[in-house]
């Protein structure tokens, strides 16, 4: 008989680093909004959800937040800090002797909806705008996928109106704080641009959370593209490019929608 898998108790934290050396920290709590405000000047603020395990806490999600009115609650933190979200997940398989990587991408943004009774809501609408196919990536496939996605967003006029853009990723957790602080390039010499923040979501747990769910969909988009490349539905890219990090690149327009 199969036993029901019990959810492990979760813990949620808010982290902040003081901007200067201090001997005390002051903060206040807004009972109406649930926001925590540091009276002491802070930086590198984020919320994190974990659960305990034998080898140490498992991070389920980590969401950067602005320095004013930090919020507990994963969904509240997302909605309060980001106007548009992208999730990106990269998978690699060998097809006809070549390593093919596909970065699956999900775009999500808030829309206004009205039902037949005239009640308005503000749900997240999500879809797959495109996927990125790369041939023979030589190092860090995930990070290259992030960089190419961000560069594409920067190149599109329709995204210039957004000032708070979140990129959901599932790797390199130990370096994300430095990436988000623009102290370390996410790949090669590419620093995370202003307006962007990297949101961490675990790929193997927390599917009830917004960021983790979007990441799961990005993984599915990547897998579907790789299946189509493997069975010939999408012809393999034969064009070779001169690039030190990969030998081929192609943007695949997808018909996947929520």
Of 48, 81, 114, the residue at which a domain comes to its end is 81
Q: Is 3 contained in some domain?
A: no
For 53, 63, 125, 133, the CA distances from 173, given in Å and listed in that order, are 17, 12, 27, 24
The per-residue pLDDT for range 202-231, each reduced to its tens digit, is: 988 888 999 999 999 999 999 999 999 999
The per-residue pLDDT for range 128-171, each reduced to its tens digit, is: 999 999 999 999 999 999 999 999 999 999 999 999 999 999 99
Within this chain, do residues 230 and 109 fall inside the same structural domain, yes or no? yes
**Which burial class, exposed, middle or buried, applies to 169 when counting CB atoms under 10 A from its CB (0-12, 13-18, 19+)?**
buried
| Dist CA 150 CA 215 (whole Å) | 16
pLDDT band at residue 256, thresholds of 50, 70 and 90? very low
Both tokens of residue 30? 């807004």
Number of domains in the chain: 2
The per-residue pLDDT for range 9-49, each reduced to its tens digit, is: 999 999 988 888 888 888 888 887 778 888 888 888 999 99
Model pTM score: 0.91
Q: Is 2 contained in some domain?
A: no
Within this chain, do residues 18 and 62 fall inside the same structural domain, yes or no? yes
**Chain-wide mean pLDDT for the chain?**
89
The predicted structure's pLDDT at residue 258: 39
Of 135, 134, 146, the closest CA to residue 200 belongs to 146
């Amino acid at each position: 008989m199969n036993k029901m898998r019990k959810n492990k108790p979760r813990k949620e934290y808010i982290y902040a680093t003081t901007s200067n050396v201090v001997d005390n920290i002051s903060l206040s709590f807004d009972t109406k909004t649930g926001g925590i405000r540091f009276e002491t000047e802070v930086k590198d603020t984020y919320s994190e959800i974990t659960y305990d395990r034998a080898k140490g806490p498992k991070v389920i999600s980590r969401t950067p937040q602005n320095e004013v009115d930090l919020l507990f609650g994963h969904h509240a933190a997302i909605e309060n800090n980001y106007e548009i979200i992208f999730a990106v997940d990269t998978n690699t398989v060998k097809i006809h002797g070549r390593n093919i990587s596909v970065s699956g991408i999900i775009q999500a943004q808030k829309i206004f909806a009205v039902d037949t009774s005239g009640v308005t809501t503000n749900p997240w609408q999500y879809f797959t705008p495109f996927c990125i196919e790369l041939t023979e990536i030589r190092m860090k496939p995930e990070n290259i996928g992030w960089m190419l996605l961000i560069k594409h967003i920067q190149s599109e006029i329709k995204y210039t109106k957004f000032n708070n853009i979140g990129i959901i990723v599932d790797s390199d957790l130990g370096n994300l704080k430095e990436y988000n602080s623009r102290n370390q390039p996410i790949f090669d010499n590419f620093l995370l641009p202003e307006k962007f923040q990297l949101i961490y979501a675990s790929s193997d747990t927390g599917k009830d959370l917004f960021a983790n769910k979007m990441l799961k969909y990005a993984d599915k988009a990547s897998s579907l593209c790789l299946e189509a490349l493997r069975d010939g539905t999408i012809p393999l890219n034969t064009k070779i490019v001169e690039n030190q990090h990969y030998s081929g690149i192609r943007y695949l327009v997808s018909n996947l929608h929520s």
